[in-house]
Amino acid sequence: MPTPRPESWLYPTERGLFCAPGQFHIDPHLPVERAVITHGHGDHARSGHGAVLATHETIEIMKVRYGADCAAEFQAANGAQSINGVTVKLVPAGHILGSAQIVLDWQGSRAVVSGDYKRSPDPTCAPFELVPCDLFITEATFGLPVFRHEPAEKEARRLLASLEANPERTHLLGAYNLGKCQRMIALTREAGYDRPIYLHGGLRNLCDLYVRLGVDLGDLRNVMDSEPAELKGALVLCPPSALSDRWSRRLADPLTCYASGWMRVKGRARQHGVELPLVVSDHCDWPELLTTIEETGAAEIWVTHGREDALVHQIGLMGRRGRALALVGFEDEGD
């Protein structure tokens, strides 16, 4: 039996990416009967589905974000399983806690939907596992050759050096509330920072969940419950959107930091009024994207949310078939 062309059994619909023989969607942006979810970020995990298959951690994240009843039925992934004849397996993507690639095997053809992923180490989640395949679906958030992330440990040390050099100034670090925030805390802890770290109210729940799921984040306190004097020279984390709003005015002479892959480009950092940009990302940089595409051995690569045009062009230069997969509902994740 000849192996089927991937686009004959896996394709985008108006609800999201659909596996036809398995009768399920992957990361659908509208409610569906059966969804397989790569990870807990808002543009991948949404509420209102019938049955949800995801990692145990992703399910916990969804419950914290959307409520315990955000899907009719949850199933935590546990090894390979068959859904209507399609073998489905979740393997770590290295993006955030619980993030997984969805490996699909059908009639001798293998597709990997990687969701969001990265190859560099992260103390808060399991590392990316490479799965050879025929079709690899990759993100392209940082799909331009100018994007090369710095080693995250080095950026954490820069943050600590600045804290030491400016003991009068509160360091206000903008970090995405799921993944980046907890990773930055864990990195500073690994680098030996053991003073309390203060949280904006929007970060508390997910930090508590990480701790519950076994990630040590040290002494965390709420900005809300702290005296202004206590915050002088302290490290305060907030969502990026709070960096420039009213909320930060309570801090004395804050030094604004922002941990994101976008910080590689000066214009982007200046746009946010950032004084100390930290180039840390939970997505692949350009070299990691290329290495991964190469290593999967896939002849066909589909590219989702990001700068598809550059990466698709590059895939052509690498002698593979590249295609921009227009999926609605994905946006710049801001990290």
Partner 1 sequence: MQAFAELLDRLVYTTARNAKLKLLEDYFKQVPDPDRGWALAALTDGLPLRLSIRKTLATILEPHVDPLLYRLSRDYVGDTAETVSLLWPDARANAPPPSISDVVAEVSSASSREFPRVLERLLDRLDVKGRFALLKLLSGALRVGVSARLAKTAIAQAFGRAVEEIEEVWHAVTPPYGDMFAWLEGRGERPDPGRKATFRPVMLAHPIEEGDWQGLAPEDIAAEWKWDGIRVQLSARPGDVRLFSRAGDDISGAFPDIVQAFAHTEGVLDGELLVLRDRAVAPFNDLQQRLNRKGVTGKMLQDYPAHIRLYDILFDAQEDVRELSYLERRARLEAWYERFLPSLADVSALVPFAAFSELEEKWRQARENGIEGLMLKRKDSPYLAGRPKGHWYKWKRAALTLDCVLMYAQRGSGKRSSYYSDYTFGVWKTPDELVPVGKAYSGFTDEELLRLDRWIRTNTVERFGPVRQVAPGLVLEIAFDAVQPSTRHKSGVALRFPRVHRIRWDKPAREAETLAAVQALIPS
Site string for Zn ion, 116-135 (x = CB under 5 A): x-------------------
C-alpha angle 203-160-174 in degrees, rounded to nearest 5: 30
Q: Indicate the residue type of 15.
A: R
CB 143 within 8 A of CB 207: no
CB 267, min distance to partner 1, A: 5
Binding residue (CB under 8 A) for partner 1 from 212, 250, 270, 321? 270
The bridge status of strand 100-106 relative to strand 197-199 is unpaired
Q: Is 275 in the site for partner 1 (CB under 8 A)?
A: yes
| DSSP-H helix ranges across the chain | 56-66, 152-165, 180-190, 204-212, 228-231, 266-271, 286-296, 308-317
Out of partner 1, Zn ion, none, which partner does residue 118 contact, by CB within 5 to 8 A per kind? none
Binding residue (CB under 8 A) for partner 1 from 229, 267, 319, 331? 267
Contact set for partner 1, span 138-167 (CB under 8 A): 144-146, 148
Binding residue (CB under 8 A) for partner 1 from 276, 293, 303, 325? 276
Q: Is 29 in the site for Zn ion (CB under 5 A)?
A: no
* Region binding partner 1 by CB under 8 A among candidate stretches 120-128, 180-188, 259-267, 323-331: 259-267
The token duo for 277 is 């940009």
- If you compute the radius of gyration of the chain from its CA atoms, what whole number of angstroms results? 20
Nearer to Zn ion, 9 or 176 (CB): 176
CB 80, min distance to partner 1, A: 38
CB 98, min distance to Zn ion, A: 11
Nearer to partner 1, 58 or 141 (CB): 141
Nearer to partner 1, 204 or 268 (CB): 268
Q: Is 313 in the site for partner 1 (CB under 8 A)?
A: yes
* Region binding Zn ion by CB under 5 A among candidate stretches 23-31, 41-49, 84-92, 264-272: 41-49
Residue located via tokens 């290495």: 291
Binding residue (CB under 8 A) for partner 1 from 76, 83, 130, 310? 310
The bridge status of strand 220-222 relative to strand 197-199 is parallel
Nearer to Zn ion, 34 or 41 (CB): 41
Binding residue (CB under 5 A) for Zn ion from 25, 29, 41, 65? 41
User: What DSSP assignment string belongs to 147-203?
Assistant: --PPPHHHHHHHHHHHHHH-TTS-EEEE--TTTHHHHHHHHHHHTT--S-EEE-GGG
* Region binding partner 1 by CB under 8 A among candidate stretches 57-65, 103-111, 211-219, 307-315: 307-315
The bridge status of strand 135-140 relative to strand 171-174 is unpaired
C-alpha to C-alpha distances, 128 to 82, 94, 95, 131, nearest whole angstrom:
23, 4, 8, 9
If you count them, how many residues does the chain have?
335
Q: Indicate the residue type of 118.
A: K
Nearer to Zn ion, 140 or 236 (CB): 140
The bridge status of strand 86-92 relative to strand 49-54 is unpaired
Nearer to partner 1, 101 or 314 (CB): 314
Out of Zn ion, partner 1, none, which partner does residue 116 contact, by CB within 5 to 8 A per kind? Zn ion
CA distance linking residue 112 with residue 88, whole number of Å:
10
- Residues lying near partner 1 in the complex (CB under 8 A) are found at 144-146, 148, 264-267, 269-270, 273-277, 307, 309-310, 313-314, 317
- Residues lying near Zn ion in the complex (CB under 5 A) are found at 41, 116, 333
